[in-house]
Amino acid sequence: MKILCCGDLHAREKAPVCRIDDFFQTFLFKLNWIINMAIDREVEAVVFPGDVFDTFRASDFLKKTLIERLSNVLVVSGQHDQRHHSLDLSNTPLGVLEAAGAVNILSSREYIMLLDEVSFYGSSWGEDIPEIKDKGRFNILVTHQMIIKDDLLWSGQESFSRAKNLLRTTGFDLIISGDNHQFFMENVGDKWLINCGSLMRQSIDQADHRPAVVLFDTKTRKPEIIYVPIKPSAEVMSLNEKEREVEKNEKLERYKEGLRSDSEYEGVDFVSNLGEYMKKEKIEKGVCDVIWEAVPGRN
């Protein structure tokens, strides 16, 4: 069975502050390229490991755009897909895509493919990794969690798993992961973990990122890296220090808006995740202090 492993889409209409091209048209080009490539290579399953949308407030236009292009794609939800980090997706853009038949949201329940006796399992953001029901099948886990290969992504990083450890302890033949925006692959024998990273370069730190998808054949157990066509970062990104500052301010405003919009944000899990996010993004202390002032119950 041929499986196309993809990364985080983070579908959005508004361009990140670092982009100077027509960001949305670039996104559509890449998405169409993936779909057409899957057809040309006779892929049986296309997989997106969470953060299909950049926010659960995605517009109807953006939902319609994805519905028109996707069909029976296998996904899990990332924290950006979820409404206040809830696993209830009934009132989210990703839930709309599932109702329209554009995606199938995987869960701990086994999703059986008769072809080549393949089973898919899902572990969305905040969900435990499920147990394999039939170890005689080719078992695939699609998960959205922070997984790293070797080195920490930033000093003091916490709340992560190492790729080799997951391969050794879970028993899955293939793990397709999202959340880490870097591309990497890891294997233990003939078992593989594939993390394609993000499809789009949305921050200055990603100037050197090469978006890719991976074609995996369950019969040969061999991955094939296929790089997504991109333009040089200098042609599509503004890399000066002023843009870095604007980028930080945009992140701050998005979090302040979200924190004040709904009391459901008061949960302990959200506060913990917010702290982890600020460490990951290396947000300056002064900015962190302003964010914490906006968190209900912390001022």
Give residue 262's pLDDT.
Answer: 46
pLDDT tier for residue 266 given thresholds of 50, 70 and 90:
very low
Cα separation, 240 vs 186, in Å, equals 34
Q: Are both 252 and 160 inside the same structural domain?
A: no
Cα separation, 190 vs 221, in Å, equals 7
What is the model's pTM? 0.82
The candidate with the shortest Cα–Cα distance to 108, out of 74, 87, 82, 131, is 131
| Range 147-153, long-range pairs (CB < 8 A, 24+ positions) | 147/177, 147/179, 147/180, 147/193, 147/195, 148/180, 149/184, 149/186, 149/195, 153/180, 153/182, 153/280
pLDDT tier for residue 114 given thresholds of 50, 70 and 90:
confident
Asked whether residue 109 is domain-assigned, the answer is yes
295 vs 266, higher pLDDT: 295
In tens, the pLDDT along 80-98 reads 999 988 999 999 999 999 9
pLDDT of 196 over the 70 cut? yes
Give residue 204's pLDDT.
Answer: 86
In tens, the pLDDT along 211-240 reads 999 999 999 999 999 999 999 999 999 877
Q: Are both 253 and 228 inside the same structural domain?
A: no
Cβ pair 228, 196 in contact under 8 A: no
Domain region containing 150? 2-233
Asked whether residue 152 is domain-assigned, the answer is yes
Region 117-136: mean pLDDT is: 95
Q: Provide the percentage of residues in the chain whose pLDDT is more than 90.
A: 72
Single out the residue in 194, 210, 233 at which a domain terminates: 233
Single out the residue in 233, 265, 285 at which a domain terminates: 233
Give residue 174's pLDDT.
Answer: 98
**Count of domains for the chain:** 2
What the block records as the tokens of 11 is 């579908």
Q: Are both 81 and 166 inside the same structural domain?
A: yes
Cα separation, 193 vs 176, in Å, equals 6
Average pLDDT over all residues of the chain: 88
pLDDT tier for residue 275 given thresholds of 50, 70 and 90:
confident
Q: Are both 182 and 221 inside the same structural domain?
A: yes
Asked whether residue 299 is domain-assigned, the answer is no
Cβ pair 198, 181 in contact under 8 A: yes
In tens, the pLDDT along 15-29 reads 998 899 999 999 999
Q: Are both 153 and 200 inside the same structural domain?
A: yes
What DSSP string runs through 90-114? TTSHHHHHHHTTSEEE--SS-EEET
- DSSP one-letter code for 19: B
pLDDT tier for residue 245 given thresholds of 50, 70 and 90:
low
Displacement of CA 272 from its chain's centroid (Å): 19
Q: Are both 11 and 114 inside the same structural domain?
A: yes
Asked whether residue 79 is domain-assigned, the answer is yes
Q: Are both 186 and 287 inside the same structural domain?
A: no
pLDDT of 69 over the 60 cut? yes
Asked whether residue 136 is domain-assigned, the answer is yes
Q: Are both 183 and 35 inside the same structural domain?
A: yes
Give residue 299's pLDDT.
Answer: 43
Bridge partners of 138? Answer: 118
pLDDT of 12 over the 70 cut? yes
Backbone torsions φ then ψ of 208, nearest 5 degrees: -100, 5
Residue with token string 């048209």: 25
The candidate with the shortest Cα–Cα distance to 230, out of 215, 202, 209, is 209
pLDDT of 263 over the 50 cut? no
Bridge partners of 53? Answer: 11
Cα separation, 277 vs 264, in Å, equals 18
Q: Are both 124 and 258 inside the same structural domain?
A: no
* Domain CATH code at residue 186: 3.60.21.10
Q: Are both 60 and 84 inside the same structural domain?
A: yes
pLDDT of 256 over the 70 cut? no
Q: Are both 211 and 283 inside the same structural domain?
A: no
Torsion of CA 64, 50, 251, 160, to 10 degrees: 180
Single out the residue in 205, 233, 261 at which a domain terminates: 233
Cβ pair 160, 148 in contact under 8 A: yes
Q: Are both 133 and 274 inside the same structural domain?
A: no
